[in-house]
Structure 1
Amino acid sequence: MKQAELFLQADAALRSVVDRITPQQLGLAAPAEWSQKPNPTLRDVLASHARDEAWVPDVLAGRTIEDAGTTYDGDLLGDDPVASYDRLNDRATAAITADLDPEKVVHLSYGDFPLAEYLQHVSVYRAFQAWSIARLIEVPFRLGDTLVDNLWEEIVPQIDGWREMGVFPPEVAVPADAGRETQLLGKAGYWQE
């Protein structure tokens, strides 16, 4: 399934950035739109991603928020946030590599969707968060050609609809000779010089 491949690529991209976060950077202020918490820090954002990773096996199994109850409440990061995130990421990766039915309906906090659509949603989120976090912590990062091509195929044809739903900010102009990754970031409203 194409969306499972996209998920694995985007999830690996996010992990590659998370693994470069230092303990000192966890206290950095993060943009307000990255979190529902007031005055979020990078640790708050990482905690949200950890919870998102933790949910993947349950979502794939068809569980609902009610089924999980308080399973994912509290601090999932502990004393070693990056290692804790990595453990949850390993579980999510293992769940995604199982035999999956793209039409299976999964239950999300914002409604029920076919599995393929859920994977598309979370892949887009992970990929652009990887890029954004890398910018915040000032580490070199590229989405990579394969991930860019897959994101392009998944989102560009319907980007105006995504934008209307508030998923993406307005498109940003990029240099005329920009490569495909920069073009994608511009279309999604993320590119910055």
Structure 2
Amino acid sequence: MKQKELFLQADAALRSVIDRITPDQLDRPAPAEWSRTPNPTVRDILAAHARDEAWVPDVLHGRTIDDAGDSYNGDLLGDDPVAAYDRLNDLATAAVNEDLDPDAIVHLSYGDFPVQDYLEHTSTYRAFQAWSIARQLGWDYSLPAPLVEILWEVIGPQIDGFRAMGVFPPAIEAPADADSETLLLCRVGYWAPMG
């Protein structure tokens, strides 16, 4: 299942970025459109990703929001936010590495979908957040080439449809010398030059 490989690669890319975040960077502001929290910080974004990771095993095992109750409310990060995220990421990775039925129905906050669609949705979010967080923190970062390749393969044909649903902002004109990663980031509306 391509979506499984996509998830594992995108999740690993996001973790590689999160693992570079230092304690002093957690209080830096994050773009308002990344969060429902007023005046979000990088820590708020990390908290949202931690919650997203925490849900993966439950979602893949068919649990609903009602089943989980308030399990994932409150602070999941504690005194060592990056280590807390990594523990949740390990659990999510183990769950995705199980023998999954791509057509099994899982229950999301926005509806019921096959497992393969869930993995596709969450992979897209993770991959582009990895790049966006790194850029927000001023790092020279590139998505791994195999991840770019599988994003083009799985997400590429659906970009316009996702954009119509409000997932992606308008496309950006790519520079003349754009590589595959830059072309992808421009197509989904996220690319910006280092400034």
Smaller-chain TM-score range? over 0.9
Matched, 1:179 2:165: no
Matched, 1:117 2:148: no
Partner of residue 35, structure 1: 35
Deviates more, 1:142-151 or 1:47-56: 142-151
CA distance in 1, matches of 2:121, 2:78: 27
Partner of residue 12, structure 2: 12
CA distance in 2, matches of 1:76, 1:146: 31
Assess if the C-alpha contact under 8 Å between 2:77 and 2:85 holds in 1: yes
Partner of residue 85, structure 1: 85
1:47-100 C-alpha deviation (Å, 9 max, x unpaired): 000000000000000000000001101100000000000000000001110100
Query: Shift of residue 140 of structure 1?
Result: 2.4
Deviates more, 1:162-171 or 1:140-149: 140-149
CA distance in 2, matches of 1:176, 1:157: 22
CA distance in 1, matches of 2:2, 2:114: 14
Matched, 1:71 2:55: no
Aligned partner of residue 178 in structure 1, secondary structure: coil
Matched, 1:44 2:35: no
Q: Using the aligned pairs only, state the percent identity.
A: 70
Give the TM-score of the pair, scaled to structure 1: 0.98
**1:33 partner amino acid:** E
Matched, 1:103 2:103: yes
Matched, 1:151 2:151: yes
Query: Shift of residue 176 of structure 1?
Result: 2.1
Aligned partner of residue 112 in structure 2, secondary structure: strand
Query: Shift of residue 171 of structure 1?
Result: 0.4
CA distance in 2, matches of 1:26, 1:163: 30
Partner of residue 135, structure 2: 135
Aligned-CA RMSD value? 0.7
CA distance in 2, matches of 1:33, 1:175: 25
List gaps (5 residues or longer) in structure 1. none
Query: Shift of residue 158 of structure 1?
Result: 1.6
Aligned length: 193
1:133-190 C-alpha deviation (Å, 9 max, x unpaired): 0011122211111100111112221211111111100000111221100000000001
**2:183 partner amino acid:** Q
Aligned partner of residue 47 in structure 2, secondary structure: helix
List gaps (5 residues or longer) in structure 2. none
**1:134 partner amino acid:** A
1:116-147 C-alpha deviation (Å, 9 max, x unpaired): 00000000000000000001112221111110
